[in-house]
Amino acid sequence: GDSVTQMEGPVTLSEEAFLTINCTYTATGYPSLFWYVQYPGEGLQLLLKATKADDKGSNKGFEATYRKETTSFHLEKGSVQVSDSAVYFCALTSYYGGSQGNLIFGKGTKLSVKP
């Protein structure tokens, strides 16, 4: 069935450091890919998405490119801030395969940014 694997955390960075959180997937068909973020004490929020190969999703300085050849959707930010401290989830949905159109999530990566 469909699955998402993301790098385990926690990840601790200093402010203004470069961030990469790796995400790879296995899916039947042509999935859409997502990054969700969960800030402390808040609900999950959509950060960005990409619906087809080579699409780049971007929001709040974060970017991720849908790479079909490597089945990856790595999250990057050039300069993190303390306010980016949160748990980040990679997810996919596909009409085919085990997800049946629902979101399948990775286990999450906790990011802590120190001043």
Closest separation between CB of residue 32 and other proteins, Å?
Answer: 6
109 binds other proteins (CB under 8 A): no
| Nearest to other proteins of 107, 114 (CB atom) | 107
Please give the Cα distance from 20 to 26 (Å, whole number): 20
Q: Which of 12, 14, 51, 81 binds other proteins (CB under 8 A)?
A: 51
46 binds other proteins (CB under 8 A): yes
Residues binding other proteins: what is the number (CB under 8 A)? 25
| Nearest to other proteins of 10, 41 (CB atom) | 41
Report the number of secondary-structure helices (H) and strands (E) in the chain: 0, 12
Q: Report CA Rg, the chain.
A: 14
State how far Cα 29 lies from the chain centre. Answer: 19
53 binds other proteins (CB under 8 A): no
Residue 99, number of CB atoms within 10 A of its CB? 21
